[in-house]
Amino acid sequence: MTGKPLVALAAAAEQVDGVPHVAVREVYVRALEQVSGCHVVVVGGPAPDLAHLVDRFDGVVFGGHQSNVLPRWYGGEPGSGPADADRDELALSVIPAALRADVPVLGICRGLQELNVALGGTLRNVPGHTEDLSLPRDEQYLPAHPVRLTEGGVLRRLLGEPSVEVNSLHYQAIDRLAPGLRVEAVAPDGVVEAASAEGAAFCLAVQWHPEWYAATDLVSVALFTGFGAAVAARAARRAVI
Give the residues across from 9 on adjacent strands: 42, 61
d(CA 192, CA 207): 8
> Active site residue: 65, 129, 170, 209, which one?
209
Q: Please answer whether residues 146 and 188 qualify as being in contact, where contact means their C-beta atoms are separated by less than 8 angstroms.
A: yes
Give the residues across from 8 on adjacent strands: 41, 60
How far is the CA of 191 from the CAs of 91, 146, 204, 215, in angstroms?
22, 11, 16, 26
Contacts of 216 by beta carbon, 8 Å cutoff, 6+ apart: none
Q: Are strands 39-43 and 6-10 parallel, antiparallel or unpaired?
A: parallel
Is residue 209 flagged as an active site residue? yes
d(CA 231, CA 104): 6
> Active site residue: 65, 109, 184, 203, which one?
109
Is residue 211 flagged as an active site residue? yes
Is residue 139 flagged as an active site residue? no
Give the residues across from 204 on adjacent strands: 106, 196
> Active site residue: 114, 184, 193, 211, which one?
211
DSSP tally for the chain: helices H, then strands E:
7, 13
Active site residues: 109, 209, 211
